[in-house]
């Protein structure tokens, strides 16, 4: 069964980097806020430290979201663990919040909490192996769908863990999205929401084609009710948003 296929009239709600409009992105408070809002899925980005520990950060550099400097891949896990990933957030309430290792988020998954795990940037086979091992060791393996823009990283996942559900992230639509997913073994096609809405004006059957191939569509990153309406009516399976509480409220009122 495809874990991202929508089963009713409403798309799945996926909290982008946690509830990242309410708390600092990719931190445990952001994930907790997403779960408190009722989001069944959270999305996050994983990258390796210098010594190979998978940690949750979006940018290649530490500068924007922590009080560190330079590439995360140039710092040890111990150095990254000492950083403050909450001080930058506007209201000052999250100062002292750390950069979580992937294992910390995995430990909080449950039957009602699933993870869309983005392998961010290039990863060697060994780095992918380490991510997959963390998933397996957590006991929450079956609650994790891996996605990436990096076709090579998806290939490593496919080789190392052939049954892992995969999502193919794209900024622009492929000429043949079904074939693009088949090439990497993806069960989800995850485009920029604007690219999808634009593409549907030219190719109105696109979602049907993907669904006939049992490929789900999870779009990123939509925070505007006008977009939520267009995407829901079009039939996307999931909406990745920085505002899961607002999207869930909007869906409930519809």
- Residues forming contacts to ligand G3P in the complex (CB under 6 A) are 16, 43, 45, 58, 118, 169, 220-221, 240
What DSSP assignment string belongs to 179-224? HHHHHHT-SEEEEBHHHHHHHHHH-TTHHHHHHHTT-EEEEB----
List of E strands, the chain:
12-16, 41-48, 54-56, 114-119, 144-148, 166-170, 188-191, 216-219, 238-241
Instruction: Answer yes or no whether residue 25 interacts with Ca ion by CB under 5 A.
Output: no
* Cβ at position 69, least distance to ligand G3P in Å: 21
45, 161, 192, 246: which one contacts Ca ion (CB under 5 A)? Answer: 45
* Residue with smaller CB distance to Ca ion, 79 or 150: 150
**Closer to ligand G3P at the Cβ: 47 or 49?**
47
Asked whether the beta carbons of 56 and 25 are under 8 A apart, the reply is no
Which backbone phi and psi does 16 adopt, to 5 degrees? -75, 115
Contacted entry of ligand G3P, Ca ion, none for residue 131, CB cut-off 5 to 8 Å set by kind:
none
Least distance to ligand G3P, CB of residue 253, Å: 25
Question: 165 or 204, CB closer to ligand G3P?
Answer: 165
How far, in whole angstroms, is CA 162 from its chain's centroid? Answer: 20
Q: Which residue is nearest to Ca ion (CB)?
A: 118
Q: Which residues bind Ca ion (CB under 5 A)?
A: 45, 118
């Amino acid at each position: 069964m495809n874990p991202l296929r929508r089963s009713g009239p409403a798309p799945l709600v996926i909290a982008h980097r946690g509830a990242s409009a309410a708390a600092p992105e990719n931190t445990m408070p952001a994930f907790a806020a997403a779960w408190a809002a009722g989001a069944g899925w959270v999305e996050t980005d994983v990258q390796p430290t210098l010594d190979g520990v998978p940690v949750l950060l979006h940018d290649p550099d530490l500068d924007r979201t922590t009080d560190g400097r330079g590439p995360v891949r140039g710092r040890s896990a111990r150095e990254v663990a000492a950083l403050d990933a909450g001080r930058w957030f506007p209201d000052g309430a999250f100062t002292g919040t750390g950069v979580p290792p992937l294992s910390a988020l995995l430990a909080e998954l449950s039957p009602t909490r699933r993870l869309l795990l983005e392998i961010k940037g290039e990863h060697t086979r060994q780095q992918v192996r380490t991510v997959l091992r963390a998933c397996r060791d957590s006991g929450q393996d079956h609650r994790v769908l891996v996605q990436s823009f990096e076709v090579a990283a998806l290939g490593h996942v496919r080789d190392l863990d052939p049954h892992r559900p995969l999502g193919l992230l794209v900024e622009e639509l492929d000429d043949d999205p079904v074939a693009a997913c088949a090439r990497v073994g993806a069960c989800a096609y995850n485009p920029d929401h604007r690219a999808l809405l634009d593409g549907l004006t030219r190719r109105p059957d696109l979602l049907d084609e993907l669904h006939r191939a049992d490929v789900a569509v999870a779009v990123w990153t939509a925070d505007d009710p006008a977009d939520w309406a267009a995407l829901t009516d079009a039939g996307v399976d999931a909406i990745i948003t920085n505002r899961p509480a607002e999207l869930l409220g909007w869906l409930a009122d519809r």
